[in-house]
Amino acid sequence: MSTLIRASALAKLPVVTFAGEDIAQLKDIVYAANGGQIGAFTLAGRGIFAGPLKTSLPWAAVVGLGPDAVIIESEEVLQPTSDVIGSAGDGATGGGDILKSEVLTDTGTSLGRVVDVIIGIGGGGRDQADVVGYEIEPAESLGRGKQHLLIPLPDTLAASGEHLMVPASASDYLTDDLSAFGTAVDAFRSQLAGGR
């Protein structure tokens, strides 16, 4: 299984070129493919007073994404933000914000609200960054207390910016432990694949 990272941990990560310069930091994530993958990152300048940049970083140009930095080859891989959002948008998230969306199962049960996105980074670097799950604030009806839970996602899902639809069986794989979450995602996805 790939490395799992919380999307909130990515914000403010420095963007470093091969030449060792920190040219920007991550500001926000643009999701592609119905919220199932990372499409690009919007950027902000380094330093307290630097505002957002007019350029963005397409995922394809990321050489490596780790706990301490995002590595890119050079400044030339950055693209104008409008271009990046245009191509990734493609009706994907309906322009909505994934955070705070309500997670609904296909049987109509609310599982809670999204507070963070869990991303799996493939070992090879340039692999796609897959959204493997959400961290949710559980709905009271779930009876699991207030502690945030992690919910695995299928490879594809429907998201409207208001609701996120997940198969009912996803609720069987809820966990509160990020280190064990990778196994839960794998188990959930192989169960979905087997069921078809």
Partner 1 sequence: MLFSQAQGRRVVSTADADTVGLIDGYVIDPTRQQVVALNLKKTAGSGDVLPWPDLLAFGDDAVTVERSTVVVEADERIAELSGKHHTILRKQVLTTSGQQIGKVQDVDFDPADGRILTLILDNQVQVAGTNLLGVGSYAVVVRS
Residues in contact with partner 1 by CB under 8 A are: 13-14, 16-22, 63-71, 125
**Between 25 and 93, whose beta carbon lies closer to partner 1?**
25
Report in angstroms how near the CB of residue 125 gets to partner 1 at its nearest. 6
How far apart CA 88 and CA 96 sit, in angstroms, is 13
Report in angstroms how near the CB of residue 115 gets to partner 1 at its nearest. 24
How far is C-alpha 1 from the geometric centre of its chain's CA atoms? 16
How far is C-alpha 91 from the geometric centre of its chain's CA atoms? 17
**Between 9 and 158, whose beta carbon lies closer to partner 1?**
9
**Between 5 and 111, whose beta carbon lies closer to partner 1?**
5
Provide the terminal-to-terminal Cα distance of the chain, rounded to the nearest Å: 22
**Between 30 and 70, whose beta carbon lies closer to partner 1?**
70
Report in angstroms how near the CB of residue 13 gets to partner 1 at its nearest. 8
Report in angstroms how near the CB of residue 20 gets to partner 1 at its nearest. 3
Mapped to the 3 state alphabet, what secondary structure does 65-108 carry? ECCCCEEECCHHHCEEHHHHHHHHHCCCCCCCCCCCCEEEECCC
Residue 137 exposed, middle or buried by CB count within 10 Å (0-12, 13-18, 19+): middle
